[in-house]
Amino acid sequence: MHQDAELGFHVDLVNQGTFNQNLGLAVFYNETNPLSISGTEIPRFYDVDVEVPNNLFLDINTEVINSLSYISGYVITPRNTPSITLDYLKDAIYVLEHDTKHVDGYASFAGTTEFSFPIGHDQKLRPLITTNPTPNTTAKAAYFDENPNFPSTFTTSFDTNLSESIISSISDIEFWDFDGPDNSLVTLTWDAESEIDNLVSDLNNLRVVGWHIADQQWKDLGNSNTTGTLSEGTINSVIFNPSDYEIITFGSFTTTDDFTVYNVFTPNGDGINDTLTIKGITTVNNELKIFNRWGKLVYQATNYQNDWNGVSDVNLTFSKGKKLPVGTYFYTLEIKDSDKTSAGFFYINY
């Protein structure tokens, strides 16, 4: 195809030979039937229009080197074969993407500019944005409007109950599969259907999280910036190595609001409520300090494990190692990984 060529494909394209020196415009158009691109050789186009209301199916990689216009219908790639992608080369661009016009499956980008993947799932566009930091490498992404506990095309599930201690909850609404060079960073997008308000009340506590392949748990990928509101916005990760992670999604940071301090305990040795219990505290790095009603420190612990039985470990007017008397005591609790502190009181009885 020469520079000013315009070629319309109204039926399926089966490419069996070299077809990668094209310029001009290729239009895939059919008002009534779906179309497909298949064959043994990857076709490469300069400009492409997709106007197939019943969708254009890719059974082989298809490359674009300048622009693609999403006029109608999805470009669908087989999700169970992630190697088949719609490939944007040489900083190619696209226009007119929408909830009903995008890549339903995998897209790739081989360029060095910031790129927003026009990816989604059914009638939901959910871009992922990244900048490829390494020349001559490719980034690839797909969006899944699925619960990661029950993924449709992966051979394993991604248990949202398994996470490192600084993560308190994981989205069970959606996730992305992202592959790219080392030292990548990503921006994820959400809308009201993402139910971000069920994860956090403050966007500062929202995180990008990833399923770590070796450790088989969700890990924090940071929050270097957020925009928008709980119903629509973006979040930036920190730099990470995508090869270490299977999928990524939203999570929430563990805060002191996630811990419950039971405000009465009875250290009388009967085996019931004998220690000060703070629900959730054993999963995080913490420092606990306890004071009497006069503000004197009577107990402190680093990484408290719900094992204090009311015995003072600080010299006061009574001997160290003695049980504290009945009364009201006050505490401060610092969560080391989040630099958050809470305070409150409890009552010792026997």
pLDDT of residue 224: 86
From the candidate CATH numbers 3.40.50, 1.10.287, 2.60.40, 2.40.30, the one assigned to the domain spanning 256-348: 2.60.40
**pLDDT (tens digit per residue) in 49-72:** 999 999 999 999 999 999 999 999
Mention every residue, 6+ apart, whose C-beta is less than 8 A from residue 152: 79, 144, 146
Mention every residue, 6+ apart, whose C-beta is less than 8 A from residue 222: 207, 208, 236, 237, 238, 240
CB-hemisphere CA count at 13 Å for 260?
A: 3
**pLDDT (tens digit per residue) in 287-309:** 999 988 777 889 999 999 999 99
pLDDT band at 112 (very low <50, low <70, confident <90, very high): confident
DSSP-derived pairing of the beta strands 260-261 and 114-117: unpaired
Note whether 305 and 280 are within 8 A (CB): no
User: What backbone torsions phi and psi does residue 108 show, to the nearest 5 degrees?
Assistant: -130, 160
CA distances 340 to 5, 143, 330, 337, Å, are 63, 33, 17, 8
> What's the sign of the alpha-carbon dihedral 189, 192, 197, 198?
negative
| DSSP label of 97 | -
